[in-house]
Structures are given as C-alpha cells and as structure tokens.
Chain A
C-alpha cells in the first residue's frame, strides 16, 4: 500500500523527490500533502522586508513528539535534487532531509539554514551535528564546513530568494553611497549600474564569475573601509532622526486627540449650562431678550476664542517647526518654503501703467469710412470684432510717443534737452541720475 501515497507526496514535493521513509503512516502522509499544498504558496518576493525580524514558523498541529529514528547521526545522506537555481526550496516543512523526521512527529521542528550553502535541516540535526564544533555539511556533494553559529531560520520559502537577499544586504552594506555623494545624477546612475552588475554576478554567475565578483567586493571593502563606515554612520543617524520625528508626530497626534476630546466635553458642559439657563429664564417667565443675546454672544465669543487659539497654535507650531521640525503635521520631502509674500492689493496686469489717455478722448464721434463699411459686415460682427477696440487702439497709436523726443532722451535722459545740458560733466551727471532708465537699454 505504500505505492499510491508515495506518488502523491512526491508530487507535492516536486523538488525533493527523495525516497519517502517507509515508516511514515499512510494516513499522515496524506494529511501532510494537503497542508503542504496550502503552505507552499510563493511569498511575494517583490516586497522584501530586509530588516524585519526573522519569522518564526510554528504550526499547531496534532501529533506527539517523536525522536528521529532514521539515519545514523552525522551520516551523509543522499542529497535531494535541487532547483534550477541550484538550491532546494524550503518546502520540506514537514520532513528533515537529514534525519527524515516529520512534523507530525515533532511539532516544534524548526528548519535552519546556513548561509554558507543554504542547505536546510532541522534544528535537532543542527544541534546534533555541529554542537561539537565545525563539521561538514551532511548533504551529499556539499563539502562546506559549517559552524553552529551560522545557522538561522530562513525568512523566505524559496531559498534562492533568501540567498539573493542576503547577498544584496551584504553588497548594500559595502556600497552604501547615497545620491548626494555624487556630482551628477548620471554619475549616481552609473554607480548603481555598477553595483547591480556586481550583485548579479554574485547571485547568478557561475563559479568563476562569482569568485571574481567576491574578490572585487572584498577589495573594495578593504580599500574604502573608512568611507563605508562613515556612510553607515550617516545612514544610521538619518534613520534615527526619522524615527524620532515619527515618534514626535505620533505624540503630537495623540495630544491633539486628547485636546479634541477635552474640547468636546467642555462644549457639552457649556450646552447643558445654557440649556439650564434657558429653563431658568422660562421659569422666571419668558426669556429675557438681552439674556438670550448674552448667550449668543457667549457662543460667538467661544468661536472667536477657538479661532484665536487655532491661530496661535499654528504660529507656535510653525515656530517650533523652524526650531526642530517636530510637533506639527508635516509632509516629508517638501523643500523649505520661502517667506510668505505680503498680502497685496488687487492684481494690476499693467504693472502700474496708467492707461487713461491724457491727450485725446475716445468718443462716439470717432469714425472712419473704411472702418464703418465693416460695421454691417457679417464676417466681422459675428466673430465678435470690437470696433471700439480698434478705435481706441488707433487713437492711442496716433498720440503715443508724441512727446517722446528720442534725440534728447537717448543722449541725455528723459525730460532733459540736449542743448540745455552743457558740458561733459553735466551730461554724465544726467545719465547717472537716470541710471534706472538707462539700464533698460541693455
């Protein structure tokens, strides 16, 4: 009867098609198949929480603890075949490939990996094999020497992802420059490209490229030790700052909430008070008009007070914001705002230019036969052509600049007459005195 369930298990373990231990009861094997299916959903790998604490996977299932019975201690077993990326996935939640213990028998079973080779095994095996000092990886064909210290539980189900994340973390520790360190964006992008190439080599390269990339990485690390340390510290500081700011914001929000609650309570009390006063006045016989006014006034006062409070609060928050940047609602990433412009009068599109004509007047008598003949013209009238506009423009052009005497003004300045300004010194003075206007010439 071992045949059919084994097939099923193998399908459920597409990557670990090693021989199933005969000791597994049939029923549990089937049960496990179902569970594994549900647990094997791939993790969303595009969201890589790098600095999250490692997940502790605990599965509350039945079955009592059972000591590992199979495989000699420290013995090398037949290695499971690996994925295309060269690493087994951490799918064997329910069976340690070394000791063949299944979760059914040991519900506290935890799988550990060592970043040396990313071969997973249960914690019992790890303890058993490596407690006495460094030992060889029990997987067949893997000759790495592992230490107890290096073992940890994997965060990702897919160990190739786990490995890539580890590599990226290590590379990011070494190449920790930020954009501000570069003169141009292009330089920064080139740097990022270089780092990414190196990472790719480390992750996906064959043995030779990997070794070469590793060498490069180490060389760089050794060469730029102080710089890396400095950047690391700067990054830390920044993290600390943002953490503090977040905390401050949270604190401020809490405070605001408290204030709001308090205010609401006060308002409630006030309302009750007013109501009582109303009832009192009714008792005394009819509401006194001036009293009601007093109430209204009180309410109005309250509103004014609230507005004033708000204003002072805003000003204080801006003041503190200028000081240490805490205690206010803020949108991060905004540049420092410039000083608020003064409130100004209505917008003057002509910049103070007086458009009132001084030499002529626009009146209805201004007519011209060549213009009048278009007054009935459909093409002009329908399009909204304004004959008044034309008239005023023509009149303006007829009189604009009549009092501009270019010769005098260009030689000595506006409002002066060349013949009156005698001597070079006087001319220079005139030009200097009218400097503002002369600047426009350039």
Chain B
C-alpha cells in the first residue's frame, strides 16, 4: 500500500466524512425522515398558536424570522405542513453554499477559508436536516468558524458588523456546528496539491518550453477548484488529489493524463530488471527523465505494481474521469446561475417558503435554544449543589419545560429520557459495522440534542 494513501486514510476527512454515493444518499434520506418524524410530532403535540389566514406570505425576506408562517389554506386544524424532500433540501443547501462562497469572496477571504466554510455547511446538513436548524443562521456561523479553523481569525465584533448580526446569534450556533461536524475540523483541500502537481509537471524536461501552458492550466484549475468541488459532493466521494487531477484535466486534459502516466509508470517485467536502479529507469519508459519516482529498489515487484503499476493507473484514471464528470456539472461559469434572479424566484423562494412552514418549532431559534440549554445546565448544577449541601435532602425541581410556558414540557421530559438512554457525547456512531445503513443515523438525530443538554 502506498504510504501516501495510508497517511490519507488516517485523516478525519477519510474516516468520518467520506462516503460512497449510495451511502451519502441514504444518510440524507435518513436525516430527512428523522427530521420529518420529529417535527410532525412536535407540531401535533404543540400546535402553533397562530394558524389563521393571512396574505402577507409573500414577504419572505427573512427566513429566520421567528414569526409563524400563516397557513395559506386557512386550515385551523394542526394539519401537518408539506415537508421538504431530500432533493429539495439539497438544492437549498447548494444555494446557501453558493451564498457562502459569494460572501467570502466579497470579503476577500483566503481560498482555504472559503472552501472550509462551504464544506462545514455541507457536512453539517448531512446529519442535520435543513428543517431543523435555520440555514440562514448556520451560514454565518460556518463562515465565522471556518475563519477560526483556517487561521484567518476575524474579530467577532467586526464580523458581526459586516453582516449586521448580534454576537449572540453567531456564538449560539457555534457549538452546534462543531457537534454536527463531529468535531472534525480539518478539511483537506486540493489547492496545495495543485501547486505540487504543477511543480512536478514543471520539472519534466520537455515541459520547460511550455511554462505558459502550465500557468494557464493552473489558473483555470484553481478557478474550478474554488467553485466546482464545493458545489458538488466531490469532497465526500473523492480525495483531494483526485479532485485536483480532475480539475486539472478539465483545464488541460493532456497535462493531467501526462502526470498520471508518469506517476503510475511501473511495468512488471518477467526478467525483474526493474529491481535494479537502472531497471527502474527502463521500466518507466513511458515518460521522460522523471520516470523513476516512487521506485523503491528493494521492494518486491508485486508491491511496486500495486502502488505505481498500470492496473492501479487505470483505476485512478476511471475515478478521475468520474470526478471530472461531477465537477463538470458545476463549472465556475455556473456561479451566475445561483445568483440568477429568475432562478431564485422560481426555484429558491418557493423552497424557502415551504421551509418556513415545516421548520422545527423548537430548534429554529438558535439564541433561544442556547439560552434554554444554559439555564437547564445551570439549574442542574444548582440542584446538585443544594443536594450536597443539605446532606442528600432532595429538592423537588420544577420541570424544565416551564421556560416556554409549558410548551416544551413534553419534549423536555423526552429529552431526559433520551439522555439516560444513551450518554454518547458524540451522538453515537454514524455507521454501524454490521449494517452500514442501519438505524443508527436516526438515533443520532434524536439524541444529538439530548446528549448535550447537560453539557452546555
């Protein structure tokens, strides 16, 4: 096994945030279904007070407003709203991702920060439904937190001034975001990899005369990397180097293929002449002077073939081709598409309207949510102290649900139950060993709040 691959497999990006397309689809459906079940349960048990008709539903400039959306049908029964489907959720997440890219571009943030923020948002909304937590809020949180992670720290007060937000609104979602990211903050990007590939290409003797071509290809590939992999699921399905090569092949197919051919040059020969240093050079006959890279003299032929042989080359080529197709769907030229007025009007606005109707009544307001949690935690600590001081005399506490005027009573109890049921701080395994698509995901959704109720 190639040492580079072994090292990549150690990363949290591979361990926690890489999925096959089927797995990713299943995860999203599970998240959606869990959110649906929970929200409908909450809506039914605590019908919203205002379900009267109103015609002001056109005004949807602030999807985060806490006002209850009127029911256009005038139906006063607590009928369930229409929920977003997984593809619809995906579209909305895509829209907010493009917004993050747009905002960070306006603020001249570094490429890494932009990409990290976008990936944070995308990762967060894999295990959390967009109906549960408000995307328009998480969007600011993700960008702020990405600045922290990628050493581009911005002052919170300055940051809030830019977006006209209050610091509480940013900070309220911060821990929630970390939790949703499963505390894996390191997002591996293909930008430096592109630089490395360019160095390698430029070191080929026959490329020296073609430096202009390299520059142009790099510029174009960088442009693609700044947008396409972030708007697609490429980060979940491919490794940074594969994404980089796919982007390079979109920019200049010849260069990408050349690099792959040079890398996977090893030809297993009968005479084993490749074992000698000289043989290594001969073996890399496909390329020029750089043909001997990666050739370990004393390694068995089979091992070498596995790392840089032609068989793996074909497979890498196939993977890069698939990644290329994926990136091709969201080329940088489509940036305008996401800000296109008609597109927003016809695609995004209806979805946002729909989202407001089926949002989670209990978790939509992040500031309030955090305040409630803090109070609960403080009260829990208080009661613990009191118990101790009075020598075990237990003081009967009022129910937590009273904070929202009894509105939360039911779920607060339920939260307690779930807390006892599973005290996994990280909300349980995302995938179960025996059954990769088993019921663990639903449980995680259920418990993610309960598990932290007492921690905050």
Where the two chains meet, the residues of A that have a C-beta atom closer than 8 Å to any C-beta of B are: 184, 186-187, 190, 353-361, 363, 365-371, 391, 393-408, 410-411, 414-415, 418, 428, 431, 435, 438-442
The stretch among B16-24, B156-164, B343-351 that forms the contact with chain A is B16-24
Is the Cβ of A407 less than 8 Å from the Cβ of B237? yes
Q: A403: which of B196, B312, B434 is its contact (CB, 8 Å)?
A: B312
CB closest chain-A residue, reference B316: A402
Does B397 belong to the interface (CB within 8 Å)? Answer: no
If A357-B294, A399-B4 are given as contacts, then 14 extra A-B residue pairs at C-beta distance below 8 Å, sorted by A number, are: A354-B6, A360-B263, A391-B199, A394-B192, A395-B200, A396-B196, A398-B196, A403-B2, A403-B312, A405-B315, A411-B22, A414-B9, A439-B433, A441-B430
Is the Cβ of A363 less than 8 Å from the Cβ of B203? yes
The stretch among B34-42, B52-60, B239-247, B405-413 that forms the contact with chain A is B239-247
Chain B residues near A404 (CB-CB < 8 A): 5, 8-9, 14, 239, 242
Does B193 belong to the interface (CB within 8 Å)? Answer: yes
CA distance A358 to B23 in the complex (A): 31
Is the Cβ of B429 less than 8 Å from the Cβ of A441? yes
Is the Cβ of A399 less than 8 Å from the Cβ of B196? yes
| B window 335-357: CB within 8 A of A | none
Question: Do A405 and B294 form a contact, CB below 8 Å, given A356-B3, A366-B199, A410-B18?
Answer: no
Question: Do A358 and B307 form a contact, CB below 8 Å, given A366-B199, A406-B238?
Answer: yes
Is the Cβ of A399 less than 8 Å from the Cβ of B241? yes
Q: B391: which of A190, A391, A395 is its contact (CB, 8 Å)?
A: A190
Is the Cβ of B307 less than 8 Å from the Cβ of A406? no
7 residue pairs bridging A and B, Cβ less than 8 Å apart: A360-B293, A400-B5, A401-B5, A402-B241, A403-B312, A406-B14, A411-B23
CA distance A353 to B10 in the complex (A): 10
Does B436 belong to the interface (CB within 8 Å)? Answer: yes
CA distance A440 to B290 in the complex (A): 37
Does B431 belong to the interface (CB within 8 Å)? Answer: yes
Q: B388: which of A184, A358, A366 is its contact (CB, 8 Å)?
A: A184
Chain B residues near A395 (CB-CB < 8 A): 196, 199-200
Is the Cβ of A399 less than 8 Å from the Cβ of B263? yes
Q: B199: which of A353, A368, A406, A431 is its contact (CB, 8 Å)?
A: A368
Question: Do A358 and B199 form a contact, CB below 8 Å, given A184-B388, A402-B263?
Answer: no
Interchain nearest-CB distance for A246 vs B (Å) = 38
| B window 228-276: CB within 8 A of A | 236-242, 244-245, 263-264
CA distance A358 to B2 in the complex (A): 6
Chain A residues near B1 (CB-CB < 8 A): 403, 415
Interchain nearest-CB distance for A169 vs B (Å) = 26
Does B425 belong to the interface (CB within 8 Å)? Answer: no
Chain A residues near B264 (CB-CB < 8 A): 359
Interchain nearest-CB distance for B189 vs A (Å) = 9
Q: B195: which of A357, A365, A394, A408 is its contact (CB, 8 Å)?
A: A394
Nearest first, the 4 A-B pairs at minimum CB distance are A401-B239, A398-B196, A394-B196, A401-B8
CB closest chain-A residue, reference B215: A369
CA distance A14 to B278 in the complex (A): 109
Interchain nearest-CB distance for B431 vs A (Å) = 5
Question: Do A368 and B192 form a contact, CB below 8 Å, given A357-B4, A358-B308, A361-B293?
Answer: no
Where chain B touches its partner, the secondary structure class is: helix
Is the Cβ of B429 less than 8 Å from the Cβ of A442? yes
Is the Cβ of B239 less than 8 Å from the Cβ of A402? yes
Question: Do A406 and B241 form a contact, CB below 8 Å, given A357-B294, A396-B196?
Answer: no
CA distance A371 to B203 in the complex (A): 14
Is the Cβ of B263 less than 8 Å from the Cβ of A405? no
Does B292 belong to the interface (CB within 8 Å)? Answer: yes
Is the Cβ of A406 less than 8 Å from the Cβ of B19? yes
Interchain nearest-CB distance for A173 vs B (Å) = 23
Interchain nearest-CB distance for B2 vs A (Å) = 5
Interchain nearest-CB distance for B423 vs A (Å) = 15
Chain A residues near B223 (CB-CB < 8 A): none
Question: Do A407 and B21 form a contact, CB below 8 Å, given A186-B388, A442-B430?
Answer: yes
Chain B residues near A439 (CB-CB < 8 A): 433
CB closest chain-A residue, reference B3: A354
Question: Do A398 and B307 form a contact, CB below 8 Å, given A355-B3, A368-B198?
Answer: no
Chain B residues near A369 (CB-CB < 8 A): 215
What does the 1/0 interface line of B367-393 toward A look like (CB < 8 Å)? 000000000000000000000110110
CB closest chain-B residue, reference A194: B391
CB closest chain-A residue, reference B23: A410
Is the Cβ of A403 less than 8 Å from the Cβ of B20? no
CB closest chain-A residue, reference B433: A438
Is the Cβ of A359 less than 8 Å from the Cβ of B2? yes
Is the Cβ of A397 less than 8 Å from the Cβ of B199? no
Chain B residues near A360 (CB-CB < 8 A): 200, 263, 293-294
CA distance A361 to B388 in the complex (A): 65
Is the Cβ of B319 less than 8 Å from the Cβ of A396? no
Interchain nearest-CB distance for B426 vs A (Å) = 9
What does the 1/0 interface line of B186-213 toward A look like (CB < 8 Å)? 0010101111111110110000000000
Chain B residues near A400 (CB-CB < 8 A): 4-5, 7-8, 193, 239-241
Is the Cβ of A410 less than 8 Å from the Cβ of B198? no
Q: A394: which of B14, B199, B436 is its contact (CB, 8 Å)?
A: B199
Chain A residues near B18 (CB-CB < 8 A): 406, 410
Does B15 belong to the interface (CB within 8 Å)? Answer: yes
Chain B residues near A403 (CB-CB < 8 A): 1-2, 4-5, 307, 312, 315-316
Is the Cβ of B16 less than 8 Å from the Cβ of A441? yes
Does B296 belong to the interface (CB within 8 Å)? Answer: yes
Question: Do A398 and B241 form a contact, CB below 8 Å, given A357-B3, A367-B203, A441-B16?
Answer: yes
CB closest chain-A residue, reference B320: A402
Is the Cβ of B202 less than 8 Å from the Cβ of A367? yes
CA distance A405 to B314 in the complex (A): 12
Interchain nearest-CB distance for A179 vs B (Å) = 16
CB closest chain-A residue, reference B211: A369
Is the Cβ of A353 less than 8 Å from the Cβ of B429? no
Interchain nearest-CB distance for B381 vs A (Å) = 14
Chain B residues near A396 (CB-CB < 8 A): 4, 7, 196
Q: B242: which of A393, A402, A415 is its contact (CB, 8 Å)?
A: A402
Is the Cβ of A359 less than 8 Å from the Cβ of B238? no
Is the Cβ of A394 less than 8 Å from the Cβ of B193? yes
Chain A residues near B196 (CB-CB < 8 A): 391, 393-399
Interchain nearest-CB distance for A280 vs B (Å) = 63
Chain B residues near A355 (CB-CB < 8 A): 3, 7
CB closest chain-B residue, reference A414: B9
Q: B4: which of A184, A402, A408 is its contact (CB, 8 Å)?
A: A402
Interchain nearest-CB distance for A323 vs B (Å) = 41
Q: B244: which of A187, A354, A356, A398 is its contact (CB, 8 Å)?
A: A398
CA distance A439 to B436 in the complex (A): 12
Interchain nearest-CB distance for B443 vs A (Å) = 13
What does the 1/0 interface line of B285-314 toward A look like (CB < 8 Å)? 000001011101000000000011000100
Is the Cβ of A365 less than 8 Å from the Cβ of B203? yes
CA distance A152 to B446 in the complex (A): 75
Interchain nearest-CB distance for A186 vs B (Å) = 5
CA distance A391 to B192 in the complex (A): 10
Chain B residues near A399 (CB-CB < 8 A): 4, 196, 241, 263
Interchain nearest-CB distance for A210 vs B (Å) = 25
Chain B residues near A402 (CB-CB < 8 A): 2, 4-5, 239, 241-242, 245, 263, 316
CA distance A441 to B438 in the complex (A): 14
